[in-house]
Amino acid sequence: MPASPIFDIDKLDMGHIVADHAQIYSVLPHRYEFERLTAILHCDDELMVGYHDLGHDEFWVKGHIPGRPLFPGVMMIETAAQLVSYAALIQSKDRGGFLGFAAVDGVKFRGSVLPGQRLVMMAKMVEFRPRRCIADTQGFVDGKMVFEGRITGMWL
C-alpha cells in the first residue's frame, strides 16, 4: 500500500510557479538531457513540490521501450534527487559545492509515466546536516502515486 501523499495534491496550484526552468538550472549544474525539472511549485525548509513535463522527443523515448515508451525508473529517481538537491542548495547557498547521491532506499514504482504526461514530484526533508541530507520523495501522474523512495545526498 502506498504511503500517504507528502503534500495534499488537491491544494497544489499548478499555475503558481516559484522557480521556472531557468531559475532551477541557475542553481543546479545538470544540463541538456539531464535537466529533469520543468518548474518548482513549492519550496520551504521541509517540503518541496516540482514537476517535469515529459516530451515525446526525450532521449529515452526511442529505446525505452520501442512501441511503448515508458519513462525509466532511474529517471524518476533522478528527478526526485534534483528536486531535493535544488532545495538543499537553496538552503545552503553560501556553501557552494555539489550534492551527489549517497543512497537510494525503499524505492517502489507503482505505475507508468508516459511521454506527454506531467510527473509531479514531492519531497519532505527528513534530515539536513552539514555532510548530508535525507528526503522522502514521491511522484504522481494524474493524482496517482507512481513512485516513492528515500533519497540521501552527500556534499561532494
pLDDT tens digits for range 89-145: 998 876 667 889 999 999 999 999 999 999 999 999 999 998 899 999 999 999 999
- Mind listing the pLDDT tens digit for each residue in 8-52? 988 899 999 999 999 999 999 999 999 999 999 999 999 999 999
Q: Which residues, 6 or more positions from 71, have their beta carbon under 8 angstroms from its beta carbon?
A: 54, 60, 112, 113, 114, 115, 119
**56 noted as active-site residue:** no
Instruction: Determine the average pLDDT of the residues in 66-83.
Output: 96
Please tell me which residue in 30, 42, 52, 64 is annotated as part of the active site.
64
Go through the domains of the chain in sequence order and give each one's CATH number: 16-155 (3.10.129.10)
pLDDT of amino acid 156? 86
pTM above 0.75, yes or no: yes
pLDDT of amino acid 93? 72
